Amino acid sequence: MSEHRTTLLQGTLDLLILKALAAGELHGLGVSRRIEQITRGTFVVQPGSLFPALHRLEEAGWLTSRWQPSENNRRAKYYELTRAGRRQLGEETAEWNRISLAIARALEA
Region from 1-9, 11-19, 66-74, 99-107 binding another protein, contact rule CB under 8 A: 66-74
Q: Which of 23, 84, 94, 101 binds another protein (CB under 8 A)?
A: 84
Please return the burial class of 59, using the count of CB atoms within 10 Å of its CB with bins 0-12, 13-18 and 19+.
Answer: exposed
List the x/- string, 8-27, binding to another protein by CB under 8 A.
-------------------x
Q: Determine, following the binding rule CB under 8 A, whether residue 56 of this chain makes contact with another protein.
A: yes
Binding positions for another protein, 30-49, rule CB under 8 A: 46-48
In the set 72, 83, 106, 108, which binds another protein (CB under 8 A)?
72
Alpha carbons 63 and 77: distance in angstroms, whole number = 12
DSSP type of residue 4: -
Distance CA 70, CA 58 (A): 20
* Start-to-end CA span in the chain (Å): 33
87 binds another protein (CB under 8 A): no
What are the helix (H) ranges across the chain?
Answer: 10-20, 28-38, 47-60, 83-108
Contacts with another protein, residue ranges (CB under 8 A)? 27-29, 46-48, 51-52, 55-56, 58-61, 67, 70, 72, 74-77, 84
